[in-house]
Amino acid sequence: MLSTITKILSTVDDFVWGLPLIILILATGLFLTVRLRGLQIKRLPLAIKYMFSSDEEDGSGEVSSFAALCTALSATIGTGNIVGVATAIVSGGPGALFWMWMAAIVGTATKYAECLLAVKYRVVEKDGHVIGGPFYYIENGMGKQFRWLAKIFAIFGIMVGLFGIGTFTQINGITSAIGNFFDKESVHYVNLFGRDYSLTIIISGIVLTFFVALVLIGGLKRISNVAQIIVPFMAIIYVAVVMIILILNLGKIPAALIEIVQSAFGLRAFGGGMFGAMIVAMQKGIARGIFSNEAGLGSAPIAAAAAQSKEEVRQGLISMLGTFIDTIIICTMTGLSIVITGAWDMGLEGVAVTTEAFQIGLPFSNSVSAFILMVCLVFFAFTTILGWDYYSEKCLEYIIGNKPKAITVYRWIYIACIFIGPYMTVKAVWTIADICNGLMAIPNLIALIALNGVVVRETKSFFERGVHNKI
């Protein structure tokens, strides 16, 4: 029965993430890059300046621009950066990392556009709280006649939260990492649902579910407060640790880069013939890239809409840094460490791949290296769980309206999904996540193409008015 379900899910995943969606994602990002004249590259220094600026604008919103970025990063920097990169390279070869880069470069323009639109078309409810995102720029930007498309996005957004990025993959990654560290051989186990599970996985799952519940009860402000502390700190720690691996293996980096490019175009025919290998690398790289940085998915705009900013372009620039930090910096470092150490080709899967890379590459004992990775993964995934609860709640709110009791019920359902996540297989978890991500991206990409003129017009007006020189 389980194998049949897995086979069905794999078939659906291959269909959703076939060439049409891959082309749509890349084409949308490339189209916006051309229309914005490479803004994501030319205006990167300005975006960094805004990120560190303490001057807040007098605009509608619930949290600071930096807090909004951290909330978005809390949802993007997670298992995708550690486990997702590993599964992409194992499934699609080292070339998958190249296609993650391509998706990220053009995806930065996509992230800019969607976050700009989120601020422009957001709505302030009667009680003063702000809600915005693709559902509102579809409805208010494209017109009321496209409300059905907005609702489809919101439904898929709830699915991604409950069954995709938000719950199963994160808690599964956390508990697997803790289990691999404290009880790798599953010496202490119990039998549940016909399978043996380590007591470490069960206990860690219960403890993490409890702490998630404590934070989620506090809503957006508590989530953003936690994110502002954990995300920057853990990102710096993780980057510093992986830098040690890269510095110690500096001489291997050129060969690894050559292998990545050759694999990306099927010149090292991993998994079939040349064309087949390239398609697999593209599919896994882009799918995991989108999973990790969420450019085009439509999630980050939900957080951006809550920022205290009246200048849409400013928030768009700040928000686009999420893709740069997530993929160009963190995913690249993880991927290089995996390729350099050869951990991707050892018959391992999931977090075990990155753990092996850390143990080979770091000048510490295996237990210390595994512990460092486990701690990073726990905090990254923990904040992702929090961020995606906020996203999916807003999607639900768009569909049913501002009904606090219904939102509270949903919150407990979300917590229940976290509770059961550790008992699912790695392959099933990531396949479900891929399917939900792909379905959520389609309505958002349609809206970005339809509203590209608005994005260009607002961007042009911002720089012509010289606002960037005043902030």
Average pLDDT over residues 160-187: 77
How many other CB atoms are found less than 10 A from the CB of residue 259? 19
Q: How far apart are CA 350 and CA 176, in angstroms?
A: 9
- Measured at the CA of 22, the angle between CA 16 and CA 25, to 5 degrees, comes to 110
Per-range mean pLDDT, top range of 126-130, 378-382, 452-456 = 452-456
Single pTM value for the model: 0.82
Average pLDDT over residues 238-267: 89
How high is the pLDDT of residue 134? 94
| DSSP letter for each residue of 362-405 | SSS-HHHHHHHHHHHHHHHHHHHHHHHHHHHHHHHHHHH-S-HH
Model confidence at 9, pLDDT cuts 50, 70, 90, reads confident
How high is the pLDDT of residue 396? 93
pLDDT tens figures, 288-325: 777 677 788 888 898 888 877 778 898 899 889 888 88
Model confidence at 54, pLDDT cuts 50, 70, 90, reads low
Q: Which residues contact 254 (CB under 8 A, 6 or more apart)?
A: none
196 strand-pairing partners:
191
How many other CB atoms are found less than 10 A from the CB of residue 62? 19
How high is the pLDDT of residue 219? 64
Q: Which residues contact 313 (CB under 8 A, 6 or more apart)?
A: 116, 458, 459, 462, 463, 467, 468
* CA atoms within a 13 Å half-sphere pointing along the CA-CB vector of 123: 18
Which pair of tokens denotes residue 130? 């702000």
Which pair of tokens denotes residue 17? 């993430």
pLDDT tens figures, 367-397: 898 888 888 888 888 888 888 888 888 899 9
Average pLDDT over residues 421-439: 72
CA proximity to 184, closest of 296, 323, 348 = 348
How high is the pLDDT of residue 359? 92
Model confidence at 438, pLDDT cuts 50, 70, 90, reads confident
Q: Which domains does the chain have, with CATH numbers?
A: 15-469 (1.10.4160)
